Each structure stands twice: as C-alpha cells, then as structure tokens.
Amino acid sequence: MAGYIIVVIVVAVITFLLCVPVYLTFRLEMDKGPKLRARVTWLFGLVRKQVGDGKQKPQNKERQTWVIPQFLRVKGLLKQLAILVWDIFKRVSIKDMVKELEVNFRVGLGDPADTALIFGAIYPVTLLVDYYLPYPIRVQPSFDDDIVCEGYAYMVLRVRPVRLVVPIMRFAFSKPAIRALKTSIHNRWKRRN
C-alpha cells in the first residue's frame, strides 16, 4: 500500500514540474558586431541559467572546415528531426508561447540606392508583421555613406514542458535516433581507446 502512495506522489510531483512553464529570454544586440545572450528560467525564477555573456568572440582569420558528426549521418535521422520540429510546432501555439517581442534595427548598405532597393522588399513585410502582431517591430533605413547594422532584438518565450513530452518521446524511441545514439557511443569509445 505504501508503495502505491509513493508512486502516486512521484507521478504527481513529476506532472507538476512538467506543467510549470519554462521562460526563454533572448537578446541580440548589434553594435560593432553581434552579441547574443540567452537566459532560461524555470520554477518561478528559482532555477536560472545564463547562456552567453554578450561578449564578442574573436574571429579567427583562418578558414575553418566543419565536419558533419558521424551520428548525424545516420539514415533517416534528419527526417525524424524534421518530424520532431513539426510536432512541436503543432502542439505549441505561437500566440501563447511568445510573451514579449521587440525588434529595433537601423540598417544601411553604404550606397543609398542599394539601401532603397533592399527596403523596397523588406518594408512591406515589416508593415504586415507589425500590423498583425501586437509587438513593436521597427526596421529603419540608414541612407548614410557608411555600412550600418545596429539595434537590438528582445524576445521572451514561455514553453510548457508537458506539451513537448510526446514529440520528444516519439523522437527518442525512433529507430534512427537509437541508431544515432549507438553510433555516438561507439565513436566515443573508439576515441577513448
């Protein structure tokens, strides 16, 4: 009898923890280069994690080649990842998820004619997005003789983990994900030995 009570309490606590929303805060600042900061907050602010400190990373002049990791080459994994992303977007309402959004940029290409051509395409889209969303989105042209990209973007998302359980479990127990896990573990053992 006591075992059943403990199981019920554990299930109730896990359900409660999955129902508590996770807040994701992103801030992108463009001054002399991009600075990205992200913060994850959970359990009403008791658990916090800051990702990125907003400092620019020194750019390496040498060209770096990027090799696709072995586990990403598993047949069918990219299809399963696409299905995972699609399932998450189906289950999560964007309207309920976005709590705050503010975009304010000033962009110029150096040549006023080029800037005008770019904004001829960008500005109607910006107006439509600004009309349909209740968040301030401003992208302004700069017709100076300098190349300019400065401003900031700020977004707060609220995600309820309970809505992500089914898509993540479906992905985690799919054949390509299990093969990718096996490949990753096998490659890690090979490197150690």
Task: Judge contact between 158 and 99, C-beta under 8 A.
Answer: yes
- Dist CA 116 CA 146 (whole Å): 14
Position 56 scores a pLDDT of 57
pLDDT for residue 128 = 86
For residues 15 and 5, what is the distance between their CA atoms, to the nearest angstrom? 15
**β-bridge pairing 22-30 and 147-159:** antiparallel
- Degrees, nearest 5: CA angle 42-83-79: 125
Considering only the C-alpha atoms of the chain, give the largest distance between any 2 of them, rounded to a whole number of Å.
78
Taking CA atoms, 103 is separated from 33, 56, 129, in Å, by 17, 20, 11
pLDDT per residue, tens digit, the chain (193 aa), is: 888 999 999 999 999 999 999 999 999 998 878 889 999 999 888 999 998 765 655 556 565 565 666 667 788 888 999 999 999 888 887 777 889 999 999 988 888 888 899 888 888 888 888 788 888 888 888 888 788 889 999 999 999 899 889 999 999 999 999 988 888 888 888 888 7
Q: How many CA atoms lie within 13 A of 49 on its CB side?
A: 7
| pTM of the full structure | 0.70
Q: What is the pLDDT of residue 169?
A: 93
The torsion defined by the Cα of 66, 69, 70 and 76, in degrees rounded to 10, comes to -110
pLDDT value, residue 191:
81
